[in-house]
Amino acid sequence: MKITSNTEWYHRAFNQRYLELYSHRDEKELAQLFFTLVHFKLFPTDGKVLDAACGAGRWLRYLIRNGVDAIGFDLSSELLKECSDLPVVQADMRSLPFEDQTFISVHSLFSSFGYFVDAEEDMRQIREFVRVLKKDGWILFDTIPDRFLYELPPDNTYQFSDGVIASIHRETKQNIIYKTVQLDNGEMWEERLRVYTPIELDQMFQKYGCCLLWRLGNYDGSSYNANYSPRMISCYVRTT
């Protein structure tokens, strides 16, 4: 695997401040997603589920609380500390510490894709997810719609609970969204997200023997619409 240094943005950006910044991602959307899976008869009762890049374990905790046999992994030791009571391991998504065909299902929630400088490494991530998935297993892949490349939210500020103020700026270059977070205490980090069209994503998964089962536009199960859906949630099945 190509060596990436610990200076890559994703080694630094996912910390306590990230958790506070995104604390509005609440249990309601998890419950909606859970019932959407039940609706599609994909409630995972038989076999092990992998919560990929589980962060602080919000979805993993939800799955386990509802009787699912699940494990999570993430790169961030700071976020993993928040869920040390759950079955989690520290790992990079391009090189997973699991045997081939271990899981009945792999869930990748809330834009945990498109992080790497080299797009080949995004492919490597998909290849790893498919490798650890059983044949006929399915991958839940939650990304942002590609129109967000052109519909960036305006710059904004956010005040953390300790009074520190963040100024947040986003810009697009080609198919990558760069988000800069500048704190008034001098700290600063950048996040970058390569955004894929639905067709590009389908082709990437097809390359590794997966085909699209369905695509939703939000956790509540609404259909995907390229013009207004807030999310792009794709479900792929491993067919080979």
Ligand X SMILES: C[S@@+](CC[C@H](N)C(=O)[O-])C[C@H]1O[C@@H](n2cnc3c(N)ncnc32)[C@H](O)[C@@H]1O
Stretch that binds ligand X, among 37-45, 70-78, 132-140, 232-240 (CB under 6 A): 70-78
Q: Which is nearer to ligand X, 80 or 104 (CB)?
A: 80
For the CB of residue 60, give the shortest distance to ligand X in the complex, in Å. 9
Q: What spatial distance separates the first Cα and last Cα of the chain, rounded to whole Å? A: 25
Q: Which is nearer to ligand X, 77 or 239 (CB)?
A: 77
For the CB of residue 32, give the shortest distance to ligand X in the complex, in Å. 13
User: Which of 73, 82, 135 is closest to 107 using CA atoms?
Assistant: 73
How many C-beta atoms surround the C-beta of residue 203 within 10 A? 11
* # residues contacting ligand X (CB under 6 A): 18
Stretch that binds ligand X, among 48-56, 167-175, 198-206, 212-220 (CB under 6 A): 48-56
User: Which of 126, 71, 127, 57 is closest to 104 using CA atoms?
Assistant: 71
What's the one-letter identity of residue 239? T
* 105 and 45 Cβ atoms separated by less than 8 Å: no
**Pattern 190-209, ligand X, x by CB under 6 A:** --------------------
Q: Which of 48, 49, 50, 58 binds ligand X (CB under 6 A)?
A: 58
Q: Which is nearer to ligand X, 36 or 111 (CB)?
A: 111
Stretch that binds ligand X, among 50-58, 130-138, 148-156, 166-174 (CB under 6 A): 50-58
Q: Which is nearer to ligand X, 110 or 224 (CB)?
A: 110
How many C-beta atoms surround the C-beta of residue 73 within 10 A? 21
> Which DSSP helix (H) or strand (E) runs through 137?
strand 133-143
Site for ligand X in 100-139 (CB under 6 A): 109-112, 115
Q: Which of 29, 92, 122, 128 binds ligand X (CB under 6 A)?
A: 92
Q: What is the 3-state secondary structure (H, E, C) of 67-90?
A: CCCEEEEECCHHHHHCCCCCCEEE
Distance CA 101, CA 134 (A): 4
Q: Which is nearer to ligand X, 58 or 238 (CB)?
A: 58
Distance CA 116, CA 196 (A): 13
Note the residues at the interface with ligand X (CB under 6 A). 10, 14, 53-55, 58-59, 74-76, 79, 92-93, 109-112, 115
